[in-house]
């Protein structure tokens, strides 16, 4: 069994090798160049070149090449041997710092289309010390950038390095405003490589595949694409052997090949590496694609890397998992648990959104190869666009910033729509829908009612319209509300009394219990009791609230004309009502002392026990009064103002 840690990076001139083979001062100077982007001392380059040559020869290498990425989608190489002739007819193995730092490839590295105007393609290659050198096919490959004699960029590595440097410079400036001292900010990429594997003998029978990389004619398979379980299906032994061989080759080259699985189309598969710095990741992806083809050939297979080799089934995308992080390991696009309060994250997020918006044409052009445009459009899809999806929660955060509103993410499972969809009628600009709050979530933590939440609502279709634009997302504010009547009285219809009408105009009002719970504040919607009326305590009222509620507090307006009077109150909640057999839960109780103010006094007392229920029982447990005052009235109160905050 192979020892993977020993195998990994065995063909790479990485930091471990540098520490072992380079003098300490040379190693420090090289690392400073890599980390800070400073110029490389030619003398340092000479020492590095000699150490690199000795290491490569020990690994069996005989040649070296400046390995770069022209604008052809593949890599370019021109091999030179290490030999240098001597006067006595023998040779020695040499590799100078000059040869390491700069090369001068000819125009044959580029396709000319029949016109060999070599001066347009001639230029220099320059060593990229931020990407490790490696050995491939007994050749020391030195990652380089390429530019013309006149300064034009002729490869894909140089723009990448320039963009990384620009991002690092500006990001460090921004982070300094947050009080963070950062030397360098780097972009990271984890490119997922999808591919097809087909038998070599079948491949040879298809000139269209050989010449173009995709099928130009033919019919779909009789059964079509009916492999719903292919993605998570078992990997066939022949393919597994290929993947094992591929992993070994990639690990030797320091490529962090991590995940391998079937893809959704027949004979389609995927390899996903662990993310790396953007320029290293692009080098590794070029190596991955090359190794896929070589290893497949050893197994009697052909690896198709065309983006859309077969009509009617999924093409092969290359998802780039991109991010940005500091040299201290901080991911600048990590929202954390409270993205709305993470100013640093919001700043970098909006910067990325702004960049995509302003440079969308450039982004689109960068992937507009013939093969990829065929995958994105062809005959099966609309034209490709550049879009961003940040998820519902981040979309709500961004919208709240735009509108200047408060925002807090609703806990999972707290809110739900009664209906999955609602329709805005023709000629109207709005529609109504109902939101439900989870009783179980509220009972776990009632403090969620102290917040306001933005809930995203997305339009999925518009009749007689060409498209749905940016207006397709809106937001509604959800907050705690007041629970009031009208409620249905179930018990207590006789617990309201009136004195002789001849005793005063105030007592001509009719006090009926059903009026106590209609939500009105009109005079007369009160309970009342008289000294001369025999009252049995507790005085009980039971109402059906129509829907289940969770109460956080109650307010009762009550008054008495006497100093020192008081009452005891109790409130109960029940999920179901069964008369005397009802299982009530005591949720609140309180005692109120009164002072005459000439108007009702609001009595606010908190809930002691959280409980959800549809039925409310309100009881006056006891009432005492001062008979020396000469007034027989001992109190009255308005139950229409009993309310709670909840569902």
SS (H, E, C) 104-155: CCCHHHCCCCCCCCHHHCCEEEEECCCCCEEEECCEEEEEEEEEECCCCECE
Mean pLDDT of 626-635: 42
Query: Which tokens belong to 394?
Result: 């981040």
pLDDT at 515: 65
pLDDT at 239 over 90: yes
DSSP string, 54-112: HHHHHTT--EEEEEB-BTTSS-B--EEESEEE-TTS-EEE---HHHHHEE---GGGS--
| pLDDT tens digits for range 417-467 | 777 777 877 777 677 777 777 777 777 776 676 666 766 666 677 665 544
pLDDT at 330: 92
pLDDT band at residue 604 using 50, 70 and 90 as cut-offs: confident
SS3 string, 409-428, reads: CCCCCCEEECCCCCCCCCCC
| pLDDT tens digits for range 242-282 | 999 999 999 999 999 999 999 888 899 999 999 999 999 99
pLDDT at 506: 44
pLDDT band at residue 34 using 50, 70 and 90 as cut-offs: confident
List of E strands, 163-254: 185-191, 193-199
DSSP state of 505: G
| Percent of the chain predicted with pLDDT > 90 | 33
φ, ψ of residue 424 to 5 degrees: the values are -90, 120
Distance CA 455, CA 435 (A): 10
pLDDT at 123: 76
pLDDT at 199: 95
pLDDT at 563: 47
pLDDT at 509: 47
Residue pair 644/551 in contact by the 8 Å Cβ criterion = yes
Alpha-carbon distances, residue 355 vs 277, 334, 400 (angstroms): 20, 18, 20
Q: Residue 9's closest CA among 63, 59, 82? A: 59
pLDDT band at residue 117 using 50, 70 and 90 as cut-offs: low
pLDDT at 566: 55
> How many helices and strands in the chain, by DSSP H and E?
15, 31
Distance CA 322, CA 314 (A): 23
Q: Residue 566's closest CA among 620, 628, 625? A: 625
The dihedral through the CA atoms of 247, 249, 252, 256 has a sign that is: negative
Residues 6+ apart with CB under 8 A from 100: 45, 48, 49, 52, 127, 142
Please calculate the CA angle 558-564-567 and round it to the nearest 5 degrees: 45
Maximum distance among all alpha carbons in the chain? 141
Mean pLDDT of 2-22: 91
| pLDDT tens digits for range 566-602 | 567 888 999 999 999 999 999 888 876 655 566 666 6
Distance CA 594, CA 562 (A): 8
pLDDT at 497: 55
Instruction: Please give the residue that has the higher pLDDT: either 231 or 138.
Output: 138
Length of the chain equals 647
Mean pLDDT of 526-553: 68
pLDDT band at residue 525 using 50, 70 and 90 as cut-offs: very low
Residue 24, H or E segment: helix 24-36
Alpha-carbon distances, residue 92 vs 87, 95, 103 (angstroms): 11, 10, 21
Residues 6+ apart with CB under 8 A from 164: 186, 187, 278, 279
pLDDT at 296 over 70: yes
539-550 and 435-437 beta bridge pairing = unpaired
pLDDT at 196 over 50: yes
φ, ψ of residue 118 to 5 degrees: the values are -65, -30
| pLDDT tens digits for range 504-520 | 444 444 556 666 666 55
| pLDDT tens digits for range 306-351 | 999 988 788 898 889 999 999 888 999 998 877 878 899 999 999 9
């Amino acid at each position: 069994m192979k020892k993977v840690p020993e195998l990994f990076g065995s063909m790479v001139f990485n930091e471990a090798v540098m520490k072992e083979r380079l003098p300490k001062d040379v190693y420090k100077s090289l690392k400073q160049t890599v980390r800070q982007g400073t110029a490389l001392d030619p003398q340092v380059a000479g020492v590095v070149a000699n150490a690199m040559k000795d290491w490569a020869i020990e690994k069996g290498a005989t040649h070296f090449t400046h390995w770069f990425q022209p604008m052809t989608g593949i890599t370019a190489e021109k091999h030179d041997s290490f030999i240098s002739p001597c006067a006595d007819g023998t040779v020695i193995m040499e590799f100078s710092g000059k040869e390491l730092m700069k090369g001068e490839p000819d125009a044959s590295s580029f396709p000319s289309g029949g016109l060999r105007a070599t001066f347009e393609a001639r230029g220099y290659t320059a060593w990229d010390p931020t990407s490790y050198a490696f050995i491939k096919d007994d050749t020391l490959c030195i990652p380089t950038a390429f530019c013309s004699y006149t300064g034009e960029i002729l490869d894909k590595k140089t723009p990448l390095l320039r963009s990384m440097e620009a991002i690092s410079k500006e990001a460090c400036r921004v982070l300094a405003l947050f009080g963070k001292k950062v030397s360098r900010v780097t972009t990271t990429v984890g490119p997922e490589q999808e591919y097809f594997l087909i038998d070599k003998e079948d491949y040879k029978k298809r000139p269209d595949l050989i010449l173009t990389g995709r099928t130009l004619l033919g019919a779909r398979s009789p059964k079509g694409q009916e492999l719903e379980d292919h993605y998570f299906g078992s990997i066939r032994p022949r393919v597994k052997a290929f993947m094992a061989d591929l992993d070994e080759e990639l690990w030797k080259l320091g490529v962090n090949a991590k995940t391998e699985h079937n893809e959704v189309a027949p004979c389609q598969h995927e390899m996903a590496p662990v993310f790396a710095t953007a320029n290293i990741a692009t080098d590794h992806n070029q190596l991955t694609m090359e190794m896929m083809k070589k290893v497949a050939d050893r197994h009697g297979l052909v690896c198709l890397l065309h983006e859309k080799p077969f009509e009617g089934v999924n093409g092969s995308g290359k998802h780039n998992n991109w991010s940005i992080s500091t040299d201290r390991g901080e991911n600048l696009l990590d929202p954390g648990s409270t993205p709305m309060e993470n100013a640093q994250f919001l700043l970098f997020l909006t910067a990325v959104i702004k960049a995509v918006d302003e440079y969308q044409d450039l982004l689109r052009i960068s992937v507009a190869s013939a093969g990829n445009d065929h995958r994105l459009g062809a005959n099966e899809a609309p034209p490709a666009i550049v879009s961003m999806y940040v998820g519902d929660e981040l979309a709500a955060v961004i919208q709240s910033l735009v509108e200047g509103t408060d925002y807090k993410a609703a806990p999972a499972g707290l809110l739900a729509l009664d209906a999955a969809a609602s329709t805005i009628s023709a000629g109207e600009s709005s529609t109504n829908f109902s939101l439900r709050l989870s009783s179980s979530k509220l009972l776990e933590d009632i403090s969620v009612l102290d917040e306001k939440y933005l809930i995203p609502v997305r339009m999925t279709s518009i009749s007689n319209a060409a498209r749905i634009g940016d207006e397709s997302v809106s937001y509604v504010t959800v907050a705690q509300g007041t629970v009031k009547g009208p409620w249905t009285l179930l018990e207590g219809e006789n617990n309201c009394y009136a004195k002789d009408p001849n005793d005063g105009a105030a007592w001509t009002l009719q006090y009926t219990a059903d009026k106590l719970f209609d939500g009105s504040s009109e005079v007369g919607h009160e309970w009342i009791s008289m000294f001369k009326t025999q009252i049995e305590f507790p005085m009980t009222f039971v109402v059906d609230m129509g829907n289940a509620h969770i109460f956080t507090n109650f307010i009762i307006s009550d008054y008495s004309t006497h100093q020192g009077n008081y009452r005891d109150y109790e409130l109960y909640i029940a999920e179901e009502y069964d008369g005397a057999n009802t299982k009530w839960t005591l949720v609140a109780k309180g005692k109120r002392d009164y002072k005459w103010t000439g108007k009702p006094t609001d009595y606010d007392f908190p809930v002691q026990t959280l409980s959800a229920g549809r039925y409310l029982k309100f009881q006056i447990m006891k009432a005492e009064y001062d008979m020396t005052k000469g007034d027989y009235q001992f109190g009255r109160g308005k139950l229409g103002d009993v309310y709670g905050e909840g569902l």
